[in-house]
């Protein structure tokens, strides 16, 4: 197989190892993972040549990253991978395709992509140069890969800004988001208070209408929230109409997520990615002062019909 891979154009050789590695990484993470983290894991675990680490002039980004994101569209068309709001999901078909090995995985995904092109009566724009390097010339696919890279870069910037906040500033962001969602926040935990609830939110000023949301906030970007923390929140939901909300600037363990799903009392978990999505969604409903706490700038790109 090694000899067969070495006969491929250099960009396809890069695609072979990165596509396979990405699906393996997502599988090891339990079947889903933020795209940025998949890229980071590949950066740590794979050996790249100087050519692969160069800036690719067509996109302005590192060549291997551009190649991977370009060919990841093949994985999507083959049904091996789904991307939804920056989270990448390994499908059942993708898990089975891993058994094919790196080369056959890439080939089968490429066949699926070409079939999609044919069914949509589009012209396949991929071509090879005289030097044997496949040019990434499919304009729609190249555009999608570039937008993926820009989105990853943008989210990284937002996360860095959140990470620089202290615990009470992040708590204020959570309360502001709830107000933008048309909740009242009569209680926000004061500085120095330890334990208990961090925010209480109501649908009406008096808290007479259900649901009444009891919120715990944890600002620890580099940690995962253990299940005992979720159990503690559930223990505070002692009135009819109470629901729990746990917001973290990090992530939740798989056990925490399972406990929340199975709980007889409604508990919603919001990790850093979900928080950023909601901040983007309700940004226009924030006050000008609240926007300044975590300001965003909207940029629109020409889309594709894929």
Tens-place pLDDT, residues 264-299:
899 999 999 899 999 999 999 999 999 999 999 887
- 303 in a structural domain: no
- 298 in a structural domain: no
State residue 133's pLDDT score.
47
The set of residues, in sequence order, having a beta carbon less than 8 Å from that of 161 and lying 6+ positions away, is 294
Give the C-alpha separation, 187 to 244, whole Å: 15
State residue 89's pLDDT score.
94
Longest dimension (CA), the chain: 73
> How large is the average pLDDT for residues 182-209?
86
> Is 194 a residue whose pLDDT tops 60?
no
Three-state secondary-structure class, residue 198:
coil
Tens-place pLDDT, residues 43-63:
999 999 999 999 877 777 888
Same domain, 68 and 30: yes
Q: Domain range spanning residue 109?
A: 2-162
Same domain, 109 and 197: no
> Is 38 a residue whose pLDDT tops 90?
yes
CATH of the domain at 223: 3.40.1350.10
Structure tokens at 35: 């795209």
Same domain, 197 and 114: no
In which residue are the tokens 């990090």 written? Answer: 250
Same domain, 41 and 23: yes
> How large is the average pLDDT for residues 224-242?
92
Same domain, 129 and 184: no
> How large is the average pLDDT for residues 214-237?
93
More confident site: 114 or 149: 114
Same domain, 238 and 114: no
pLDDT band at 256 (very low <50, low <70, confident <90, very high): very high
Across 129-138, 187-196, 260-269, least confident range? 129-138
Cis bond leading into 284, ω under 30°? Answer: no
Q: Strand 251-252 relative to strand 212-218: parallel, antiparallel, unpaired?
A: unpaired
Same domain, 153 and 174: no
Answer whether 24's CB lies under 8 Å from 16's CB. no
Domain boundary among 128, 162, 196: 162
- 229 in a structural domain: yes
Tally of structural domains, the chain = 2
User: How many degrees, rounded to 5, is the angle at CA 77 between CA 75 and CA 78?
Assistant: 65
Same domain, 6 and 132: yes
Same domain, 173 and 86: no
- 300 in a structural domain: no
- 71 in a structural domain: yes
Domain boundary among 126, 145, 162: 162
Answer whether 272's CB lies under 8 Å from 249's CB. yes
The set of residues, in sequence order, having a beta carbon less than 8 Å from that of 156 and lying 6+ positions away, is 36
Mean pLDDT, the chain, rounded, equals 86
Domain boundary among 118, 134, 162: 162
Same domain, 112 and 175: no
State residue 130's pLDDT score.
38
Please report the beta strands in 147-299, taking only residues with DSSP state E, as ranges in sequence order. Answer: 184-188, 199-202, 212-218, 224-225, 242-248, 251-252, 267-270
Same domain, 171 and 144: no
pLDDT band at 24 (very low <50, low <70, confident <90, very high): very high
> Is 126 a residue whose pLDDT tops 60?
no
- 275 in a structural domain: yes
- 25 in a structural domain: yes
Structure tokens at 207: 């808290």
- 305 in a structural domain: no
> How large is the average pLDDT for residues 225-242?
92
- Whole-number Cα distances in Å, 8 to 107, 137, 144: 11, 17, 24
Structure tokens at 301: 């790109």
pLDDT band at 262 (very low <50, low <70, confident <90, very high): very high
Same domain, 187 and 58: no
Sign of CA dihedral 85, 88, 89, 91: positive
Across 123-137, 154-168, 170-184, least confident range? 123-137
- Classify residue 80 by burial, with Cβ atoms within 10 Å: 0-12, 13-18, 19+: buried
State residue 155's pLDDT score.
82
């Amino acid at each position: 197989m090694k000899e067969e891979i070495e006969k491929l154009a250099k960009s396809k050789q890069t695609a072979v190892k990165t596509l396979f590695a990405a699906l393996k990484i997502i599988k090891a993470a339990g079947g889903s993972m933020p795209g940025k983290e998949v890229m980071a894991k590949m950066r740590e675990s794979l050996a790249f040549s100087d050519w692969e680490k160069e800036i690719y002039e067509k996109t302005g980004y590192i060549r291997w990253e551009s190649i991977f994101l370009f060919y990841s569209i093949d994985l999507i068309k083959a049904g091996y991978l789904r991307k939804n709001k920056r989270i990448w999901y390994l499908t059942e078909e993708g898990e089975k395709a891993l058994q094919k090995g790196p080369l056959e995985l890439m080939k089968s995904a490429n066949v699926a992509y070409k079939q999609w092109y044919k069914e949509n009566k589009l012209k396949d724009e991929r071509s090879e140069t005289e030097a044997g390097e496949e040019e990434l010339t499919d304009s729609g696919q190249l555009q999608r890969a570039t937008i993926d890279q820009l989105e990853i870069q943008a989210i990284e910037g937002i996360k860095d800004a959140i990470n620089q906040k202290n615990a009470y500033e992040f708590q204020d962001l959570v309360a502001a988001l709830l107000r933008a969602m048309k909740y009242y926040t009569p209680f926000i935990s004061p500085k120095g208070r330890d334990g208990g609830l961090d925010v209480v939110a109501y649908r009406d000023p008096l808290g007479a209408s259900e649901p009444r949301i009891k919120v715990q906030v944890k600002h620890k970007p580099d940690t995962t929230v253990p299940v005992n923390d979720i159990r503690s929140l559930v223990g505070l939901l002692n009135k009819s109409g109470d629901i729990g909300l746990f917001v973290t600037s990090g992530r939740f363990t798989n056990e925490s997520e399972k406990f929340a799903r199975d709980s007889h009392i409604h508990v919603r978990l919001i990790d850093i990615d979900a928080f950023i999505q909601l901040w983007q969604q309700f940004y226009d409903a924030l006050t000008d002062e609240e926007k300044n706490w975590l300001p965003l700038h909207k940029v629109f790109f020409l889309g594709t019909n894929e």
